[in-house]
Structure 1
Amino acid sequence: MIARALIALAMLLLAPSLVHAQDESIARRAMPVRFEAGAAHVDAEASDLADAALRRRLSSGLPQTLVTRVYAFQGESTTPIAIGVRSCRITHDPWGLTYRVQIQTESSDRSETMRSVEQVIDACLDLRALRVGRARDWAPSRGQSVWLAAIVELNPLSPDTVHRIRRWLARPDGAGVEGDAFFGSFVSLFVNRRIGEAERTIRYRSAAEVRVP
């Protein structure tokens, strides 16, 4: 399985993009944004992923992983100017009737105990003020309009993918987006639905552009 995943990743890195990342077939949703200390904080939700099947999975006792990635783009460029990531690893304890949720972002890594699947869904699929990039990522785009796109995945199938996401989240603060081929390669996932890295995936972009202050 790892070998197949690595081959798929190589295809993503090498294959030319056949469709522009702003393809009109991509669903559009409201993605409220506010800027604090020069960086964007974005609301991103994918509650439609939380159907009966997902609720059963979350309560099965087997670890489940939900990963949200939010990208910011400027104009016609297919290279993101900033990226924000939130990863949730959920394990249900059927004896204690609780959920242990490990939540990772760029700036934090914490574990929480939750009492209901609704709490888990709210924490992992209804994100509020996810920081996307740092002030220095946004500085060159001041006064310009940008648009946002999100990928929400249930259980990325490749252990290598999960490892690289966690390694990226734990990187030193000095490591930026520029030159990050791994995350840049995922731009094609917005428009190439033949390549699946997860059991289920939701993709959408912002309904409107936002001006960087």
Structure 2
Amino acid sequence: MKVLLVAVSLILMGACAPMQQIERVPEVDPKMAESFAQTKSFVYERAIVRGERGEGVVTVQGGLACVPHAQGHAQSEQYAATNQAFENAFQEEFARAGYRIARTVGGGDLFTDKKDIAADFRIAGVVTKLKMNVCFPMAGFGNFTTGKGEASLTVEWQVYSNATKSVVYTSVQKGYAIISSSMAGPVNELWREAFARAVRGLLADEGFVAIANGATVTPIVNAKPSS
């Protein structure tokens, strides 16, 4: 995310910053599909990130003691999350739980409108409350690629029925991820895994599971797809 680049530039200036308040939530067990052949099919539509411009999002720590040095801030109030890792995580979690998921080319697919993909439901997410503390133990040696940390976020899932042409279900799920031992590319992995946890939360939601297995759906009044 763009905020990390801002934070890394600040750490070199010897700045200091507060730690982000991470919302730690327990893991959940997704409900497995009752029957692959009989479950409804889904396609990942998109994710929209919403927040307050200037709000602290990422705190960068450095050194073996992981001392907080800099804070990255949200640069806009809303933007489309074009990170392919989110879509990959969504598809992987749905496939792992035994649901029919329409695979798409994703960010590199310039011409296919996902509205035209044959699926019973399209699912979008509004991502808020993104927070991350990430530590680069070898930052003093210029290494900002290997590190560890934790992150949290919240996703409001919106389930859109192609049959009724309307949103028929919403579910708010929290995501959390932690990396305890240093690894390459911790920032992207933390966001991806926190998002994947929110996907698993949706797959554990009884109301959603009922829809996935054929329950009757009705439009939610005044609800519109994320844009």
> Which bracket does the TM-score occupy, shorter chain normalised?
under 0.3
- Select the structure with the greater relative contact order (CA < 8 A; seq sep ≥ 6): 1
* TM-score calculated relative to the size of structure 2: 0.25
* TM-score calculated relative to the size of structure 1: 0.26
